[in-house]
């Protein structure tokens, strides 16, 4: 059988050998037990011969009953293999690696001990030096508890944030949070996007100044600066850059994380704010008595009022989701339709049987007939009442096919007889120009510079035409 010597310390006591020559047995026992919190004498069979410890609290784990028992019988089931490894390593190498084992308690937590088993030549038994890990276990338990608390707090904050986001987005009041220094929109809700006529994803990160028409931007900049400097609320009415409709901004400064930001309430003009001569405060209540879908718009197409039948037609939840937006959102096969209608209303004051299409919030469209007339408000601004009537199958005119330009030619064939030829030619030129720009963008895969060269335009002129025809987001593949 292979012989293994015990591990010898790199340096032992050499100059004081005489101090250990005449030691009494009780002194040797004390010296042997001082090296650990719990010291065991183990025979080569793994049985406990004797136990030494200093903390009286260890006694409640039944250590007085360990002598005469196998060390493996004094530990929990999952620690039995660790005890066997301790003994095997000590027998083969003279000393074992440290292993943590748990001694069971009659009640409460187990006793965690980290043992190192050693064998010394000339001494018949192995010595197990154990370090009490209860304090480490308490610290670990405190750490785990702290992690649980942090996780609970994180979930609470996350739930509160989710609840705030849902309420913020669902509320009817339109709100924007604006950075006080850069004047960029930090956050906003869907109601603000609807009134401004801009998708919320494009709104956040853009400046509030750019949401107003150019002639109003200087006044808006001054109002923001004055509100921030004086710490007072300011109100200002501007026109939306997206749809030209009037919007009222209520600017309120507040302090956040060491800086002053601004909360901006956005609203469309109400009946009380814009009362017209000869009309009562409840001036739009008559629209509900109209048996057809009906809406009231201004000269730029901004919606002032709608009735419930029109909301049913476009599948919009409530009036506040429609008022302030541009009528082009729902009416017209293209922007040309509403331009023609607007021009005729301005010139003639009344239009009958105007053929176009209505688009709902679900993405579907169907043909309708419009009848519109000017409303006498007694003021400078003109408003128009528009009646929308769905077309039946028998009323739908036959579409005109012409070399792939089905949509454009069919639209204009339906306008013949209802629009003067001079105006029809002018509008057809706009349609052709738009088709050419779309074709150029498609051929150049949306390379705006290449498309401008292809069309013989400057890049600035191309961008102006893209904005005019609503092609800023055209990707060249539609």
Instruction: Answer yes or no: is pLDDT of 141 > 60.
Output: yes
Mean pLDDT over all residues of the chain?
79
- Which is nearest to 97 in space by CA: 84, 87, 86? 86
| Residue 202 or 420, more confident | 202
The stretch 94-116 carries a mean pLDDT of 87
CA dihedral 257, 261, 263, 268 (to 10 degrees): -160
| Contact (CB, 8 A) for 209 and 217 | yes
DSSP tag of 401: P
pLDDT band at 15 (very low <50, low <70, confident <90, very high): low
**Mean of pLDDT values over 37-41:** 87
What is the rounded average pLDDT of the residues 449-456?
Answer: 84
Q: Which of 348-357, 376-385, 412-421, 424-433 has the lowest mean pLDDT?
A: 412-421
When pLDDT is cut at 50, 70 and 90, the band that residue 413 belongs to is low
Backbone CA torsion sign across 133, 136, 142, 143: negative
Chain centroid, CA 296 distance in Å: 36
Residue 11 pLDDT: 57
pLDDT at 25: 73
pLDDT at 274 over 50: no
Q: What is the pLDDT of residues 47-77, one digit of tens each?
A: 998 888 888 888 888 888 899 999 999 999 9
Q: What number is the average pLDDT over the span 130-148?
A: 87
* Per-residue pLDDT reduced to its tens digit, 276-300: 433 333 455 566 667 788 888 888 8
Q: How confident is the model at residue 376 (pLDDT cuts 50, 70, 90)?
A: low
Residue 9 has what pLDDT?
A: 53
Mean pLDDT of 217-244: 87
Which DSSP symbol is given to 437? H
Burial of 164 (0-12, 13-18, 19+ CB in 10 A): exposed
Q: How many residues does the chain have?
A: 478
Confidence of residue 461 (pLDDT cuts 50, 70, 90): confident
Which are the contacts of 270, defined by CB distance < 8 A and separation ≥ 6? none
Could you give the percent of the chain with pLDDT greater than 70? Answer: 79
Nearest one of 185, 164, 305 to 245, comparing CA atoms: 305
Query: Per residue in 112-138, pLDDT tens?
Result: 999 998 888 778 888 899 988 888 888
- The two counts, helices (H) then strands (E), for the chain are 13, 15
Q: What is the mean pLDDT of residues 396-411?
A: 42
Give 307's pLDDT tier (boundaries 50, 70, 90).
confident
What percentage of the chain has pLDDT greater than the value 90? 4
Reported confidence tier of residue 3, pLDDT bands at 50, 70, 90: very low
The confidence score (pLDDT) of residue 278 equals: 38
Of 247, 279, 242, 293, the closest CA to residue 383 belongs to 279
In this prediction the pTM is: 0.36
- pLDDT for residue 406 is more than 60: no
250 touches 265 (CB < 8 A): yes
């Amino acid at each position: 059988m292979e012989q293994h010597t015990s591990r010898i310390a790199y340096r032992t006591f050499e100059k004081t050998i005489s101090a250990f020559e005449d030691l009494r047995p009780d002194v040797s026992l004390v010296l042997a037990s001082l090296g650990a919190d719990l010291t065991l004498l183990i025979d080569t069979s793994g049985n406990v011969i004797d136990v030494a410890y200093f903390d009286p609290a260890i006694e409640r784990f039944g250590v007085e009953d360990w002598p005469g028992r196998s060390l493996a019988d004094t530990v929990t089931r999952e620690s039995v293999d660790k005890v066997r490894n301790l003994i095997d390593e000590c027998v083969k190498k003279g000393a074992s690696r440290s292993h943590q084992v748990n001694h069971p308690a009659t009640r409460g937590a187990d006793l965690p001990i980290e043992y190192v088993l050693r064998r010394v030549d000339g001494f018949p038994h192995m010595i197990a030096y154990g370090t009490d890990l209860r304090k480490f276990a308490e610290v670990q338990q405190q750490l785990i508890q702290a992690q649980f608390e942090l996780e609970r707090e994180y979930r609470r904050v996350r739930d509160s944030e989710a609840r705030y986001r849902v309420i913020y987005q669902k509320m009817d009041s339109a709100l924007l949070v604006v950075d006080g220094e850069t004047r960029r929109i930090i956050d906003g809700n869907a109601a603000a996007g609807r009134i401004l006529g801009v998708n919320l994803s494009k709104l956040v990160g853009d400046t509030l100044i750019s949401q107003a028409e150019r002639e109003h931007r200087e006044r808006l900049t001054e109002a923001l600066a004055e509100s921030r400097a004086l710490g007072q609320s300011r109100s200002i009415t501007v026109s939306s850059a997206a749809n030209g409709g009037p919007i009222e901004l209520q600017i309120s400064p507040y302090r956040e994380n060491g800086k002053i930001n601004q909360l901006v309430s956005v609203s469309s003009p109400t009946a009380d704010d814009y009362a017209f001569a000869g009309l009562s405060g409840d001036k739009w209540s008559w629209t509900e008595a109209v048996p057809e879908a009906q809406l009231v718009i201004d000269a730029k197409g901004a919606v002032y009022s709608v009735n419930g039948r029109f909301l049913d037609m476009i599948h919009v939840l409530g009036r506040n989701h429609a008022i302030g937006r541009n009528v082009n959102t729902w009416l017209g096969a293209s922007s040309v339709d509403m331009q023609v209608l607007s021009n005729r209303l301005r010139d003639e004051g009344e239009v009958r049987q105007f053929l176009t299409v209505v688009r709902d919030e679900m993405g579907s469209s169907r043909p309708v007939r419009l009848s519109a007339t000017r409303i006498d408000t007694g003021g400078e601004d003109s408003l128009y009442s528009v009646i929308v009537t769905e077309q039946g199958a028998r009323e739908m005119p036959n579409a005109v096919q012409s070399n792939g330009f089905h949509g454009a030619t069919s639209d204009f064939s339906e306008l013949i007889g209802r629009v003067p030829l001079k105006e029809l030619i002018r509008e057809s030129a706009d349609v052709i120009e738009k088709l050419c720009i779309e074709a150029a963008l498609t051929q150049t895969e949306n390379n705006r510079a290449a498309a401008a060269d292809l069309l013989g335009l400057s890049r600035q002129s191309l961008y102006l035409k893209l904005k005019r025809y609503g092609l800023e987001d055209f990707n060249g593949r539609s």
